[in-house]
Chains A and B, each alone.
Chain A
Amino acid sequence: GDSVTQMEGPVTLSEEAFLTINCTYTATGYPSLFWYVQYPGEGLQLLLKATKADDKGSNKGFEATYRKETTSFHLEKGSVQVSDSAVYFCALSDSGGYQKVTFGTGTKLQVIP
C-alpha cells in the first residue's frame, strides 16, 4: 500500500536558520503530494502541494519539489522564524476515486530565538 516516510524529529533550529525536512513516499500510480502544518492545539492546515512530477509547491517561504525519480518531496525554507514552530506532516493522496490521504508520522520543528 501507499506509505510516507519523513525524518524523525524533533528538529530544533535557531531563528533564520535553513530548514530541510526530508520526505519520501511509496505509491502506485500518480499521487498528489502535500505538506500540512499543525500548530499546537489546532487542526491541520495545508501548507503547500504538488500534483505532478517536477512541480514545485510554495507558500509562506516554504518550498517542496515533487521528485518522481527519487520519490521525494522534501520541505525547505531558507530562513525560519519562531512562528514556524509546529508539527509538519508530509502526505500523499492517491489517484483513486476517494483520494485517500496517507500521512507521514510528522516532524516537530522548534525554532528558538
Chain B
Amino acid sequence: GAVVSQHPSWVICKSGTSVKIECRSLDFQATTMFWYRQFPKQSLMLMATSNEGSKATYEQGVEKDKFLINHASLTLSTLTVTSAHPEDSSFYICSARPRLAGVNYEQYFGPGTRLTVT
C-alpha cells in the first residue's frame, strides 16, 4: 500500500529557532500534498495545500511567512516553522495524493510530527 513518512517524528526546539519537517511519499509520486495541524483532543485543521513546482495555497488565518512550505519534488514536501513560539507546539500531519489519481482517490496520511517549543 501507499506509504507516507514524516521526519522527525518528534522534535523539541527553543523559542525563536526554526524547525523543518519533511513529508515523503515512499512508493508513489504525489503532485499534491497537504499539511494539517492537530491540537490536543481536537480535529485536524488544514493549513495549506502544497503543489509540486508551485507556491503553496494557504488556508485563511495561516501565516505564510511563519509556516514555509516547499514541495521540491514529486515525493517530498517540507514545512518549516520559522521563529517558533510555544503556541506553535502541536501535532503536524501531512498527507499526499497520488499523481494522476482520478477523482475521489484517497489521500494517504503520514504518522505525524510532534513539535514542542520551549
Q: Do A and B come from one complex?
A: yes
Question: Is B109 an interface residue when CB atoms closer than 8 A count as contact?
Answer: yes
A98-B32, A100-B46, A105-B42 known; A43-B109 Cβ under 8 A: yes
Q: Are B43 and A106 in contact (CB under 8 A)?
A: yes
Indicate with 1 or 0, residue by residue over B1-38, a CB within 8 angstroms of chain A CB atoms.
00000100000000000000000000000001010000
Chain B binding surface, main DSSP class = strand
Please report the total number of B residues contacting A with Cβ < 8 Å. 24
Question: Is A69 an interface residue when CB atoms closer than 8 A count as contact?
Answer: no
Chain A binding surface, main DSSP class = strand
A42-B112, A98-B49 known; A103-B43 Cβ under 8 A: yes
Determine the distance from Cα of A102 to Cα of B112 in the docked complex, in whole angstroms. Answer: 17
Question: Is A82 an interface residue when CB atoms closer than 8 A count as contact?
Answer: no
A42-B112, A44-B109, A46-B106 known; A101-B43 Cβ under 8 A: no
Question: Is A95 an interface residue when CB atoms closer than 8 A count as contact?
Answer: yes
Contacts of A89 in B (CB 8 A): 43-44
Contacts of B34 in A (CB 8 A): 100-101
Q: Are A106 and B42 in contact (CB under 8 A)?
A: yes
Determine the distance from Cα of A105 to Cα of B44 in the docked complex, in whole angstroms. Answer: 8
Contacts of A43 in B (CB 8 A): 6, 93, 109-112
Q: Which of B42, B107, B111 is within 8 Å of A93, CB to CB?
A: B107
Within the complex, the shortest CB–CB distance from B10 to chain A, in Å, comes to 10
Contacts of A46 in B (CB 8 A): 106, 108-109
The interface of chain B, by Cβ under 8 A from chain A, is 6, 32, 34, 41-44, 46, 49, 51, 57, 93, 95, 97, 103-112
10 closest Cβ pairs, A-B complex? A43-B111, A44-B109, A51-B104, A43-B112, A32-B104, A105-B43, A103-B43, A103-B44, A43-B109, A98-B49
The interface of chain A, by Cβ under 8 A from chain B, is 32, 34, 36, 42-46, 49, 51, 89, 93, 95, 98-106, 108
